[in-house]
Amino acid sequence: MKPRTFVALICGYGVPKDIFSDPNYQAYLHPVVNYLFSRYCDATGTIVMNGGATDIFKPYKRTEAGEMKKWLKEKIDEIGRSAQKVNWRILARPKALTTVENLLGFTRRGSKNILIFCEATRAPRIRRLVREIPSLHRAKIIAIDFDTSPRRYDLKTIKKSERDFLRLELAAITDPHKLKRLRKFAQKKLRLMRQYSPEEAHRRLPEILEQLDKTFTTNF
């Protein structure tokens, strides 16, 4: 029996210069749509696009959620013209700056079919976090391995970064003060990245995170 409803969260992954041509977002969002269409084309669904104003291109107004919603609306219109219309509602939640904010702001809306899409290297951390959020215990995490940047292959750095972020986010789930502190961490990271060109900012990201670790994570 096919499911009648679903609710899906699509976690953001930065704000690209042009989401319609960005290779990472194309490699991310197309598999997400294909996954949903193959299983839920006849179902009623709510798709929540999550991610805040992480734009590193002036004037820094765009959000991850807003850009992804724009892309998905166009894709769904294309599907409706060429194949069939789908009964999916798209919502943008453009305030979160961290993964834990994405998850805490996501509600099930009564569906038993809860899906969370994310980048592959973040999936183990997200699986651990949802175990601490009762409303998401039944969520299915779908990892999309789309990142082809040099950082994707630096497994040592990824492992350390994911371990450090998990420690901070687990603490922030139940402590509003630490959640605010984690958000300040993300805001400071953005300010530092915006001092450079987009290419240079991404190259310097490990250095920026190391600098922030010394300021924010001590005695978190």
The ranges assigned to domains in the chain are 5-217
pLDDT in tens, the chain (220 residues): 566 889 999 999 999 999 999 999 999 999 999 999 999 999 999 999 999 999 999 999 999 999 999 999 999 999 999 888 999 999 999 999 999 999 998 865 566 889 999 999 999 999 999 999 998 988 999 999 999 888 889 898 889 889 988 999 999 999 999 999 999 999 999 999 999 988 888 888 878 888 887 777 666 6
Model pTM?
0.91
Rounded Cα distance, 50 and 102, in Å: 6
Residue 54's region, left for phi above 0, alpha for psi from -120 to 50, else beta, is alpha
CATH 3.40.50 for domain 5-217, yes or no, is yes
